[in-house]
A and B are shown apart, each in its own frame.
Chain A
Amino acid sequence: MSGLRRVLAVLLPLSLLALAAGVAIGSVSISPLELWAVVRGQGDALHRILLLDLRLPRALSAFAVGGLLAVAGALMQILLRNPLADPYVLGLSGGASVGALTAMLAGLGAVMIGGAAFAGALASTLIVFGIAHGAGSWSPVRLLLTGVVVAAGWGALVSFMLAVSPSSELPGMLFWLMGDMAHARNPAVPMAILLVVVLAAVPFGRTLNILARGPQQAAALGVAVRRIEWLLHLAAALLAATAVTVAGSIGFVGLIVPHLLRLIIGNDQRVLLPASALAGGILLVLADTLARTLIAPEQLPVGVITALLGVPAFLYLLHRSPA
């Protein structure tokens, strides 16, 4: 496990640095000395409220959501044996948004909203996989077309629901379409789900490595393919749905992060999955910090930043992938 240890030795300190930057930088900037004072339980009362009650929960939420999306992307890429898979591109985030919005419009509570988001994400992954699989093997073109069309369908449904909602609630609800951390106040649940899924998936890393070689080869080497694929569908839907209920549809994190990591550390899932969780967290904390400060005091939705990074990366990958 020396590979994992080395990767953690780099990514854990970077995660702390990113979180520190996320709480220190903002419309009221806070110096490292003042930050240290607050960490030790001292410092200015206004700073304490700003840091501990506002910025820290938001930064931790962003970290969790980034990790959730990156791990969801990595798992979907194994399922599809294709580096272009991502919960946003393939419509999981859209399905989760529709599920959550439906539950909200029906006046249901938080748990039901989470459950509805999960159901929406799962429905979306089953539609995409079912249709794109057809008879025979995955073709990237067919898969992406199916995903894009399904995602567009969910987008239209979300727009419809927003159009019939009271206009006073619109600004807060738009984040279902573009992704925004402004309403994320409670990082505990997404953090816990991220931790549980990564800890549960890493022991099966060798199985996942072999599954990435294709279902037939994996079965010949002793993998119970059907069962593992179902677990992966469920895990990807759970991760995407959790991310969406916290922060709306944020795109491309699941695409960029595993891809970059694979170039650097290879494709052993026992290293790649924990690394994706941390690197996804780092990326989204930094992107959200940028989103809060670029046009301060106004804030951008963080989905704008990730899309600006992700679209060129996606096009580059599509250009390079064999037809």
Chain B
Amino acid sequence: MTAALVTRDLVIDIPGRDDGRALSLTVHTGERWGILGPNGAGKTTLLLTLAGLRKPRSGVVEVQGRPLHALSRAAIARGIGVVFQQHHDGFPSTVMETALMGRHPHLHAWAMEGPKDHALAAAALARVDLAHLRDRAVQTLSGGERQRLAFATLLTQSPTLFLLDEPTSHLDLHHQIALLELVTDETRRGHGAVLALHDINLAARYCTHLLLLYPQGDACWGQAADMLSVPALERLYDQPLASGSVDGLRVFLPKAASPHRQLE
């Protein structure tokens, strides 16, 4: 187990918000960190900051013992990969071409993709159940298929750390579970993962650690089992919750909102 990513006194930059609590945490390989928080709490901003795509207000993010700003973009991309919530396909391209992009940080700028690169991309497509669509145009995919393709690109890229922004959005139930099982599998093979999630139950089931992000910048983090307390989660979402156990799995359900909340 090695440190895939370290943050030191990290404060993300959300205009008009106080610093809140600075984040000092270490994500090891083999761990799956879930980020929970209401809309606007800064989950996406935090992921972008961890990927070096946004400047933090203060503090540092380190991969392989070096701060991000000291590394080239290609070096960062070998250590950290991102699956975004939205995908921009301005020009036509095929499923295979899109998965192959993951090889970019591993190749010289002027090198062509070889048989090995094609094999890696094809294997990644097979793992997300898209092998049969390899020659399809990306524009014709459904939202869920496009999301799985983005994950296949990440598998092809094979960075040490996966950053996933709502990876299960657009996915049907089967593919939600399949994707999170795949993430679990990858973390057992020596990757680390940080996932922004909306679903507490999926987070409870698949994450080893949780980071709770409050709207005003407050935060707390730790082992998933310690973080999953009903009062903490109720305060996080400003929403009464019921909790129970089904087939040995801990589940959380929202209660009906109190009357004065419904008016908002």
Per-residue interface assignment for chain B, residues 74 to 105, with 1 indicating a CB less than 8 Å from any chain A CB and 0 otherwise: 11111001101001111111000100011011
Assuming the contacts A221-B77, A221-B101, A221-B105, asked whether A212 and B110 have C-beta atoms less than 8 A apart, the reply is: no
Report chain A residues within 8 Å CB of B157. 221
Report chain A residues within 8 Å CB of B84. 216-217, 220
Is A204's CB under 8 angstroms from B109's CB? yes
Q: With an 8 A cutoff between CB atoms, is B173 at the interface?
A: no
Q: With an 8 A cutoff between CB atoms, is B262 at the interface?
A: no
Assuming the contacts A221-B101, A222-B104, asked whether A82 and B53 have C-beta atoms less than 8 A apart, the reply is: no
Report chain A residues within 8 Å CB of B76. 222
Contact of A223 among B51, B73, B87 (CB under 8 A): B73
Contact of B77 among A214, A222, A262, A266 (CB under 8 A): A222
Contact of A212 among B82, B87, B91, B111 (CB under 8 A): B91
Q: With an 8 A cutoff between CB atoms, is B112 at the interface?
A: yes
Kindly state the separation between the CA atoms of A227 and B75 in the bound complex, as whole angstroms.
Answer: 16
Per-residue interface assignment for chain A, residues 224 to 265, with 1 indicating a CB less than 8 Å from any chain B CB and 0 otherwise: 110000000000000000000000000000000000001000
Q: With an 8 A cutoff between CB atoms, is A104 at the interface?
A: no
- Least CB separation from B157: chain A residue: A221
Please tell me the number of chain A residues within 8 Å of chain B, measured between CB atoms: 27
Is B93's CB under 8 angstroms from A222's CB? no
Kindly state the separation between the CA atoms of A212 and B76 in the bound complex, as whole angstroms.
Answer: 20
Assuming the contacts A219-B53, A220-B53, asked whether A206 and B104 have C-beta atoms less than 8 A apart, the reply is: yes
Assuming the contacts A217-B84, A220-B81, A222-B73, asked whether A203 and B101 have C-beta atoms less than 8 A apart, the reply is: no
Kindly state the separation between the CA atoms of A263 and B88 in the bound complex, as whole angstroms.
Answer: 19
Is A206's CB under 8 angstroms from B93's CB? no
Q: With an 8 A cutoff between CB atoms, is A213 at the interface?
A: yes
Is A222's CB under 8 angstroms from B90's CB? no
Report chain B residues within 8 Å CB of A270. 112
Kindly state the separation between the CA atoms of A212 and B82 in the bound complex, as whole angstroms.
Answer: 17
Is B109's CB under 8 angstroms from A220's CB? no
Kindly state the separation between the CA atoms of A223 and B48 in the bound complex, as whole angstroms.
Answer: 15
Q: With an 8 A cutoff between CB atoms, is A83 at the interface?
A: yes
Q: With an 8 A cutoff between CB atoms, is A293 at the interface?
A: no
Q: With an 8 A cutoff between CB atoms, is B107 at the interface?
A: yes
Please tell me the number of chain B residues within 8 Å of chain A, measured between CB atoms: 33
Is A267's CB under 8 angstroms from B91's CB? yes
Report chain B residues within 8 Å CB of A1. 112
- Least CB separation from B92: chain A residue: A267
Is A213's CB under 8 angstroms from B72's CB? no
- Least CB separation from B88: chain A residue: A214
Assuming the contacts A220-B51, A221-B102, A224-B73, asked whether A267 and B93 have C-beta atoms less than 8 A apart, the reply is: yes
Report chain B residues within 8 Å CB of A185. none
Kindly state the separation between the CA atoms of A216 and B48 in the bound complex, as whole angstroms.
Answer: 9
Is B88's CB under 8 angstroms from A217's CB? yes
Q: With an 8 A cutoff between CB atoms, is A81 at the interface?
A: yes
Smallest distance from the beta carbon of B202 to chain A beta carbons, Å?
Answer: 24
Is B104's CB under 8 angstroms from A221's CB? yes
Report chain A residues within 8 Å CB of B87. 217
Q: With an 8 A cutoff between CB atoms, is A207 at the interface?
A: yes
Is B88's CB under 8 angstroms from A81's CB? yes
Is A207's CB under 8 angstroms from B109's CB? yes
Is B102's CB under 8 angstroms from A204's CB? no
Report chain A residues within 8 Å CB of B73. 219, 222-225
Is A210's CB under 8 angstroms from B101's CB? yes
Kindly state the separation between the CA atoms of A225 and B76 in the bound complex, as whole angstroms.
Answer: 13
Is B101's CB under 8 angstroms from A213's CB? yes
Smallest distance from the beta carbon of B92 to chain A beta carbons, Å?
Answer: 6
Is A220's CB under 8 angstroms from B77's CB? yes
Kindly state the separation between the CA atoms of A55 and B157 in the bound complex, as whole angstroms.
Answer: 53
Smallest distance from the beta carbon of B55 to chain A beta carbons, Å?
Answer: 13
Kindly state the separation between the CA atoms of A268 and B82 in the bound complex, as whole angstroms.
Answer: 23
Report chain A residues within 8 Å CB of B107. 206
Report chain A residues within 8 Å CB of B77. 220-222
Top 6 closest pairs, chain A to chain B, by CB: A222-B77, A222-B105, A203-B110, A222-B74, A81-B90, A214-B88
The residues of B with any CB-CB pair to A shorter than 8 Å are 48, 51-53, 72-78, 81-82, 84, 87-93, 97, 101-102, 104-105, 107, 109-113, 157
The residues of A with any CB-CB pair to B shorter than 8 Å are 1, 81-83, 203-204, 206-207, 209-210, 212-214, 216-217, 219-225, 262, 266-268, 270
Query: Would you list 6 pairs from A and B whose C-beta atoms are within 8 A, ordered by A residue?
Result: A206-B104, A213-B90, A214-B88, A220-B51, A220-B77, A222-B105
